[in-house]
Structure 1
């Protein structure tokens, strides 16, 4: 279980990604991991890329008090390993 105080810690974010993979929810996370690994990215690095995308979504939820935007999450996952949103942070 993830404590709310640790939500934005790197370990907590990685745990969330690993849980998404284990539960195949959303499916795009596992698809992205497989795609990145087929492109030659090591699993650990691919998980870190996915965690970056998750952080973008979580920050938006926290900063704007909005719901998690799965469509945007999927779009950003599809862009990996490029991170076009990084300029906006």
Structure 2
């Protein structure tokens, strides 16, 4: 129960360069063909490290990822 209440995020690698697709895939991102970007779910503890990794390895100063907070209700609702 306690773990379900911990904040988490969906990271959307919006406008990530095509050349970074293999790095994103290796890092655990999944391609969403409908919205045409890579995304991954992470915990609040991982947020700063993930943002630093994306800045250094994907965006290189051009653009930024989108971090969307995910509530416990959204995380566990039926699809």
Common fold: TM-score over 0.5: no
Higher RCO (CA 8 Å, separation ≥ 6 residues) = 2
With the shorter chain as reference, the TM-score category is under 0.3
Please tell me whether Structure 1 or Structure 2 has the larger radius of gyration of its CA atoms. Answer: 2
Q: Return the TM-score normalized by structure 1.
A: 0.26
